[in-house]
Amino acid sequence: MPQGTSIRLEGCAKTFEDGTRALEPMTLEIEGGETVVFLGPSGCGKTTTLRIIAGLENPDDGGRVFFDQEDVTDLPIEHRNVGMVFQSYALFPNMNVEENIAYGLKIRKLPRSEISTRVNEMLDMMHIHELRLRTIDQLSGGQRQRVALARAIAVQPKVLLLDEPLTALDALLRERLRVDIDELLRGLEITAIYVTHDQAEAMSLGDRIVVMNRGRVAQVGDPRAIYFEPEDAFVADFIGTMNHINGIVREGYFETEGGRIALRSAPEGASEIFFRPENATIVEVSKAMLAGRVSAAFFLGDRTRLIVEGVGQEKLTIEADGRAKYSEGDQIGIDIDPESVLTL
Amino acid sequence: MRRTYRFYAQLGFTLLVCSFLILPVIMSVMAGVTENFFKGISSGVTLRWVVEVWDLYADTIFLSLVIAIACLACTIVLGIPAAYVLSKRQGRVARMIEELLTLPLAIPGLAIALALIITYGGFRDFRSSWVFILVGHVLYTLPFMMRSVLAVLSTADFRSLEEGAASVGAGFWRRFFDIVIPNCRAGIVAGALMVVTLSVGEFNITWMMHTPATKTLPVGLADSYASMRLEIGSAYTVVFLIMIIPLLVALQLYGQPKKKQAENFDDLEHLESRTAKSAHMRSKS
């Protein structure tokens, strides 16, 4: 089996007919067999990028799309040999499950016996054999998306494109199907591009994540890099929870209303630091780096989420052990692991 | 449940209105099978008048059927692609054309016929053939087909369906015939029944456009009312009803917007998420 198709975008921008700029010129290299997740808020250009790769949109003049060494920019989607899964499933209501999966194979004029073998393989792979003869309106959302996946993979595409495939499902189904999709992508070793606005999906599925914002790539990296070393405030805020404290750096310390923190590397002039809730620990007020006041406490079982004010201008989110009890107005001391403090 | 006075009042009123509407039809049918209308039904029941209608007007009946079928063919070939294109266009012009589709309802058939005669009346062969009437019928019925198909095209997400088909390799024509047409079927069937029904019963346009050699059923009906015994005109109505009622019944059966079968869809989803949950719990423990 070939090692998966690589994809290269060169200066692909997209301006719609009404003049909106959906995507600034984008250059991106995706390796064969890799799973890349496009992550960002709605309107960030992630779906547009996917549709350019699929061949459903043309990039503005000058943009090129390559599959391996082949320039596919001018090929329409039906000649690119991609598999695509849509948020709305896009299954054909006039065909049953089996016929939906077989449709692409019929178009390729495969012999009947081969089609039926392949369809059966797909049904087994997606655990939907018993749904074989159902019509689409007899399926639930989760089942529909499994059929859609089977239909996309059945044609043995060079690239699998998934456009928010789980967004329309409820939370529990989403989690289960996510695990299945993960297994599937690892098993197939196919190049896959997955678009989502859900950071948990992105972190768990992506070999690499492309974080996008307002038509631009904000950061490209593996999930850990995106989480632990965000390159700008947008990425830091979009992935997980991030606290901000305003203040000034003076002689290696960051000073703010609630106290001061020794910084490992302290760029003079930095006026804001960032840290995640899990990097703060609650200590006695007298020994603490920072002091603040609890303004709200949410008991979540294994932990308690505290909203703390009085440290900087913005409220902080801190996590405490579930057993400790806090109420509004409590004075607490906070230590922050200096290693994990970010200055962007 | 106890039926109240109000229920019976409403039922009575409904029956009254229905009988007011249906009575003339019954009277007409009876007149068509009565030996002598002026003497009443006591003079005997006969199919003589129906047979006579057949002898006199069989050609109008056939012409009506031919025109209706030809009209259907034209509206399918022209109307479906036109509706498809309109549904794809988002612009203002497309919306305006959609609005214009209601126009044939507002313009008197006579005006349409007159316009056609003024424009094409000079072409003698065309003017005197039944194709001339066909053009009038197509003009009149095409919007009904288009609106019916458009209604279906706007309910489902055809853009995604087509993109789905394209992604597995279907080119434009395959998508059109494999995906678009089959999924519009409800609209096409409803539109087709409407077109045939309207064409068979069309009088205004046809009456203006017909020549003695190109009479359709409704024109023949008017002719028989004007120049024959009342019984023959009524028997003609019987023939017309026999032709049109099956179409109307079919229209009622298939013309209704297809009820979504996904009524118990929520239950399905619910069930699935519950089984997912229990599976999840089991795997945890």
Q: For residue A94, give the nearest of B169, B183, B280 by CB distance.
A: B183
Supply the pLDDT for residue A254: 85
pLDDT tens column, B156-214: 789 999 999 999 999 999 999 999 999 998 889 889 988 988 898 888 888 888 888 78
As a whole number of angstroms, the distance between CA B250 and CA A205 comes to 53
CA distances from A185 to A29, A84, A310, B98 (A): 19, 14, 47, 46
CA dihedral in degrees (B64, B65, B67, B70; nearest 10)? 170
**Which of the four pLDDT bands, split at 50, 70 and 90, describes residue A218?**
very high
Mean pLDDT of B29-47: 78
Q: For residue B164, give the nearest of A86, A141, A142 by CB distance.
A: A86
**Of the listed ranges A230-234, A261-265, A271-275, B237-241, the one predicted with least confidence:** A261-265
Q: Tell me the residue type at A166.
A: L
**Which of the four pLDDT bands, split at 50, 70 and 90, describes residue A55?**
very high
Supply the pLDDT for residue A266: 63
| Chain B residues near residue A137 by CB distance under 8 angstroms | 260-262, 265
Q: For residue A78, give the nearest of B171, B265, B268 by CB distance.
A: B171
As a whole number of angstroms, the distance between CA B235 and CA B48 comes to 9
Specify the fold of B57-263.
Answer: MetI-like fold (1.10.3720)
As a whole number of angstroms, the distance between CA B40 and CA B31 comes to 8
Asked if the C-beta of B46 comes within 8 angstroms of chain A's C-beta atoms, the answer is no
Supply the pLDDT for residue B1: 58
pLDDT at A281 over 60: yes
pLDDT tens column, B45-102: 778 788 878 887 888 888 888 999 999 999 999 999 999 998 888 778 888 888 887 7
**Of the listed ranges A51-55, A99-103, B184-188, the one predicted with least confidence:** B184-188
Complex ipTM value: 0.84
Asked if the C-beta of B283 comes within 8 angstroms of chain A's C-beta atoms, the answer is no
Cβ separation of A93 and B178 shorter than 8 Å? no
Q: Which residue has the tokens 């509004």?
A: A328
Helix (H) or strand (E) holding A31: none
**Which of the four pLDDT bands, split at 50, 70 and 90, describes residue A36?**
very high
- How far off is chain A from B165, nearest CA to CA, in Å? 8
In 3D space, the residue among B185, B213, B216 whose CA is nearest the CA of residue B198 turns out to be: B216
Supply the pLDDT for residue B263: 41
Asked if the C-beta of B258 comes within 8 angstroms of chain A's C-beta atoms, the answer is no
**Which of the four pLDDT bands, split at 50, 70 and 90, describes residue A114?**
very high
Supply the pLDDT for residue B261: 42
More confident residue, A129 or B278: A129
Supply the pLDDT for residue B284: 44
pLDDT tens column, A286-334: 888 888 899 999 988 888 889 998 888 888 999 888 888 888 888 898 9
Indicate which of B161, B168, B259 best probes the interface with A, i.e. most A CBs within 10 Å of its own CB: B168
User: Which residue is closest to A151 within chain B, CA to CA?
Assistant: B168
Supply the pLDDT for residue B81: 93
User: Which residue is closest to A179 within chain B, CA to CA?
Assistant: B280
Residue A251 is classified by DSSP as: T
pLDDT tens column, B230-285: 778 888 888 888 888 888 888 777 755 554 444 444 444 444 544 444 444 444 44
Supply the pLDDT for residue B256: 58
Supply the pLDDT for residue B110: 86
Q: For residue A155, give the nearest of B157, B163, B169 by CB distance.
A: B169
Q: For residue A104, give the nearest of B156, B168, B277 by CB distance.
A: B168
CB atoms within 10 A of CB B253: 11
Interaxial angle between packed helices B217-227 and B48-88, expressed in degrees from 0 to 180 and rounded to the nearest 10: 140
- How far off is chain B from A268, nearest CA to CA, in Å? 50
Phi/psi of residue A279, each to 5°?
A: -95, 0
Cβ separation of A103 and B269 shorter than 8 Å? no
In 3D space, the residue among B205, B105, B112 whose CA is nearest the CA of residue B147 turns out to be: B105
Supply the pLDDT for residue B4: 83
Cβ separation of B168 and A137 shorter than 8 Å? no
| Chain A residues near residue B161 by CB distance under 8 angstroms | 90, 92-93
Asked if the C-beta of B276 comes within 8 angstroms of chain A's C-beta atoms, the answer is yes
CA distances from B147 to A8, A93, B93, B100, B181 (A): 45, 21, 16, 11, 15
E strand residue ranges, chain B: 34-36, 40-45
Q: Which residue has the tokens 């015994």?
A: B229
What percentage of chain A reaches a pLDDT higher than 90?
Answer: 55
CB atoms within 10 A of CB B236: 30
**Which of the four pLDDT bands, split at 50, 70 and 90, describes residue A196?**
very high
Mean pLDDT of B1-14: 85
Cβ separation of B169 and A91 shorter than 8 Å? no
Taken in order A179, A183, A185, A186, the sign of the CA dihedral is: positive
- How far off is chain B from A183, nearest CA to CA, in Å? 17
Supply the pLDDT for residue A235: 92
Supply the pLDDT for residue B267: 44
Cβ separation of B179 and A92 shorter than 8 Å? yes
pLDDT at B107 over 80: yes
As a whole number of angstroms, the distance between CA B178 and CA B165 comes to 9
Cα A90–Cα A95–Cα A101 angle in degrees, nearest 5: 70
pLDDT at A97 over 70: yes
Q: For residue A54, give the nearest of B167, B178, B179 by CB distance.
A: B167
Q: Give the SS3 label for residue A23.
A: strand
Task: Say if residues A106 and A151 touch (Cβ distance below 8 Å).
Answer: no
- How far off is chain A from B174, nearest CA to CA, in Å? 9
Residue B260 is classified by DSSP as: P
Supply the pLDDT for residue A164: 92
User: Which residue is closest to B270 within chain A, CA to CA?
Assistant: A140
Return the CA Rg of chain A: 24
- How far off is chain B from A317, nearest CA to CA, in Å? 30
- How far off is chain A from B191, nearest CA to CA, in Å? 19
User: Which residue is closest to B185 within chain A, CA to CA?
Assistant: A94
Asked if the C-beta of B169 comes within 8 angstroms of chain A's C-beta atoms, the answer is yes
Cα A106–Cα A107–Cα A112 angle in degrees, nearest 5: 20
More confident residue, B227 or A316: A316
User: Which residue is closest to A92 within chain B, CA to CA?
Assistant: B161
As a whole number of angstroms, the distance between CA A295 and CA A291 comes to 13
Mean pLDDT of A253-282: 81
Chains A & B: contacts with CB separation below 8 Å:
97
